Structure 1
Amino acid sequence: TLALVVTGCASTNGSSVASISHTSGNWWDRYIVYYISQFILWIASLVRDSYGWAIIIFTIIVRIILLPLNAISIKSMAKQQKVQPQMDALRKKYPGKDVESRQKLQEETSKLYKEAGINPYTGCLPMLIQLPVMYALYQAIWRTPQLQNGRFLWMDLGRPDPYYIMPVLAAAFTFISTYISQMSTPQSSQNGMTKGMTYLMPLIIGVSAIGIQSAISLYWVISNLFQVV
């Protein structure tokens, strides 16, 4: 969600955005955005200059690269499921809402996770990697004429989807992906906010996707579809 919102909030004033090249002024433009742009253009050259298919292939490549991190995340969730009975016991042992009880519960939980080899933050790794990729993709599209003016199916890739099909698909696949992820999350890690985000995230994604480039929406749809599969 954060990745999509950040890209959606970035400047879209074409007159203030310089074109990208291997001599661009800062390291982000020169080594990240430029080479992502060139990589997508190279993929497009292999598929008859179809920039939409190039973005789809690029997305799949990114998701495949992230598979090891996803595997680590899934293993961590499996470990958390195994210690669920111990977590329930700790909650019964420290049921109080006072500061001391909360602190004791946190200490015992950290100890339990450490003994079980669980890092509760590993689930964030794939998204932390995707965030700069999403922003770099946005910049590459906006600053590469071929991508900015490219067409795919009914869409101008540099503009929002006029029929809102991509935003709807992005919201739908985000919901399915989030729902599946929640099913594999230990009950001890869930709360009202976590469950609410299952429905809130697709809404945020869908609304944000209405105003951003179709190419970004396409990336998000394929990425979440890949995650669902």
Structure 2
Amino acid sequence: MKKRILLIIGLASIMMLLAGCTEIKEPITAESEGFWNSYIVYPLSALIIWVSEAFGDYGLGIIGVTLIIRLALLPLMIKQVKSSKAMQAVQPEMKELQAKYSSKDAATQQKLQQETMALFSKYNVNPLAGCLPILVQMPILIGFYHAISRTEEIALHSFLWFDLGSPDPYYILPVVAGITTFIQQKLSMVGMNSNPQMAAQMTMMLYIMPIMIVVFAIKFPAALSLYWVVGNIFGIAQTYFIKGPDLRKAAAENAGGAKKK
């Protein structure tokens, strides 16, 4: 599990480095050079412009493209959640193996690795299966973020009460973005029986991430805040769709606990 987490963090770092290699304020055009610009950011920018012109509104265009991308990534998200649940299911037996082969000598550790791989094979679990969806999603989502930031046409339009190229003057979008981020993360934690250390880390991120989103959304163009809000709302609905049984079980347990009190 620790190796998997480190791999995910490594993949995230690589994607963030890739995204950061391009100046985010540089407008994206068909003449923009580089693999990142030509094959990821510009196609997404062109899609935003095309959908916006079809709808006759750039705000609706951002909403539409956000939903298109999230729907396209939905199968990967389902696969990722299934992989995580499969790993959770074998955790009790993994702990038994770790207790059985607790000695740190090379022979015992080799035996532990063999028994662990046999356990994964028995339940047809691939510990790295959840990493592929993340690897595919990250460049697309970061590229979409860049496309919104660097498409000049977006900054020239308004939607509802705000200008897409300027921060929300009433801070409504940043607050909603923070609240929906918290709800989405809270729901995603349901059914994950992590060890105490992992649970503490997840709880810390549960509160840190929404605060970070609010701070960034206050400063960034409202178009990005709109993207975050729509993506989070879709994510909340997606979590209900994918983790319905876990959510209903958790709700029943909470209701039962409340009645006992």
TM-score, reference length from structure 2: 0.70
Following TM superposition, by how much is the alpha carbon of 1:87 offset from its aligned partner in structure 2, in angstroms? 3.3
Q: Say whether the 8 Å CA contact 1:91–1:105 is kept in structure 2.
A: no
Aligned to 1:213: 221
Query: Kindly tell me: are residues 68 and 99 of structure 1, through their superposed partners in 2, closer, same or farther at Cα, counting changes over 3 Å?
Result: farther
Note the C-alpha offset of 1:69.
0.7
Instruction: Quote the residue 1:62 is aligned against.
Output: 69
Q: Closer, same or farther in 2 for the Cα pair 1:95/1:206, shift >3 Å? A: farther
Comparing 186-195 and 171-180, the one that deviates more: 186-195
Q: Sort the Cα spacing of 1:95 and 1:186 in 2 relative to 1 into closer, same or farther, 3 A.
A: farther
Deviations 1:182-211 (A, max 9, x none): 113233493321222122222222222221
Structure 1 counterpart of 2:120? 113
Change in 2 beyond 3 A, CA 1:195/1:225: same
From 34, 43, 60, give the equivalent of 2:51.
43
Task: Show the counterpart of 1:156.
Answer: 163
Q: Which has the higher contact order (CA 8 A, sep 6+)?
A: 1
How much does 1:218 deviate?
A: 1.3
Matches within 5 A, 1:1-229: 11=23, 17=26, 19-48=27-56, 50-90=57-97, 92-93=99-100, 107=113, 109=116, 111-188=118-195, 190-229=198-237
SS in 1 for 2:93: helix
Moved more, 117-126 or 196-205: 117-126
- Distance in 2, Cα, partners of 1:155 & 1:187: 41
Amino acid in the other structure paired with 1:221: V
Structure 2 residue identity aligned to 1:69: L
What is the percentage of aligned positions where both structures have the same residue? Answer: 39
- Alignment partner of 2:189: what SS? helix
Computed over aligned residues only, the root mean square deviation of the Cα atoms, in angstroms, reads 3.4
Aligned AA (1:187): S
The CA distance in 2 between the partners of 1:59 and 1:176, in whole Å, is 19
Kindly provide the amino acid, as one letter, of the partner of residue 143 in structure 2: A
Partner Cα separation in structure 2 for residue 95 and residue 113 of structure 1: 19
Distance 1:11 1:168 in 2: 27
The unaligned stretches of length 5 or more in structure 1 are none
Shift of 1:111: 4.8
TM superposition score normalised by structure 1: 0.78
Q: 1:12 & 1:33 partners in 2: Cα distance?
A: 11
Pair 1:204–1:106, CA change in 2 (3 A):
farther
Name the CA distance, whole Å, in 2 between partners of 1:85 and 1:202.
32
**Contact 1:141 / 1:148 at 8 angstroms: preserved in 2?**
no
| One-letter amino acid of the structure 2 residue matched with residue 150 of structure 1 | H
Q: How far apart are residue 223 of structure 1 and its match?
A: 1.2
- Tell me the number of residue pairs that the alignment of Structure 1 and Structure 2 aligns: 222
Aligned residue type for 1:149:
L
- Give, as a single letter, the amino acid of the residue that structure 2 aligns with 1:27: F
Q: Give the conservation status (yes or no) of the 8 Å contact 1:94–1:104.
A: no
Asked if 2 retains the 8 angstrom alpha-carbon contact of 1:22 and 1:30, the reply is yes
